[in-house]
Amino acid sequence: MSRIFRVVIVCLSIVACAGCAGLLDPGPPISQVILPVRMPIAEEADRMPAQLLVSRPVTDAATGTDRIMALMNNFEVRALDSAKWVSPVPAMIQSLLIDSLESTRRLQGVGREESGMNATFRLATDVRRFYLRYESADRPPTADVALVLGLTEIRSGKVVARKLIFVEQPCSENSVREFVAAFSQAMSKALAQINEWVLESIAEKIGK
């Protein structure tokens, strides 16, 4: 092999490795954030003789991931490059629903659908919106949360109640801290409405 040919091979190898380094370099690390919410104060009323299963929420492809999504121009959905949730949105909302309903201390048990609990009712959730909505590029977004809930009596398979929860919380600035704070306030308000609706619906059904 000639010396010139060997030099060309070495040079090409260096260029190829440089290109690989560029492709493998992930850039700045993406922050992982949790969604802290305010849980309701436990009620003084007696527990109802009912247990509730909480199904994993249904989402579309855009909101079914762990990315924090933003809606631009009313049609373009983008993911934030600086932060993401610690778990996918469906799992996160399911956990928040369980924790929130448990905190009321009004039900004999609340668990995930896959827990195998011998429950009386099932709560299903359809996440219609869970993103930051930008009305214009020069203004901070609004945390937009819309959930459709259905309460089913497991024995009969009948949907006994349905509810639309819609909450908007404006952000004061464009920052991850403010985005999380806005989602936190929006979900705290949504969970308070869900708790009230679920407990009233179950009480009405079982005659309590």
Burial of 93 (0-12, 13-18, 19+ CB in 10 A): buried
Determine which of 112-116, 117-121, 181-185 has the lowest per-residue pLDDT on average: 112-116
CA 108 – CA 94 distance, rounded (Å): 18
Q: How confident is the model at residue 6 (pLDDT cuts 50, 70, 90)?
A: very low
Q: Which residue(s) pair with 127 in the sheet? A: 147
Q: SS3 helix, strand, coil % of the chain, rounded to 5?
A: 35, 35, 30
Determine which of 31-35, 63-67, 114-118, 119-123 has the lowest per-residue pLDDT on average: 114-118
pLDDT at position 133 over 70:
yes
Q: Which amino acid is residue 87, in one-letter code?
A: S
Mean pLDDT of 194-201: 96
Residue 154: closest CA among 56, 51, 57 = 51
pLDDT at position 23 over 80:
no
Q: Whole-model pTM? A: 0.84
Q: What is 48-206's CATH number, 3.40.50.10610, 3.30.9.10, 3.30.830.10, 1.10.600.10? A: 3.40.50.10610
Mean pLDDT of 78-104: 95
Mean pLDDT of 66-84: 93
Residue 96: closest CA among 145, 144, 37, 55 = 37
How many other β-carbons are positioned within 10 Å of the β-carbon of residue 64?
17
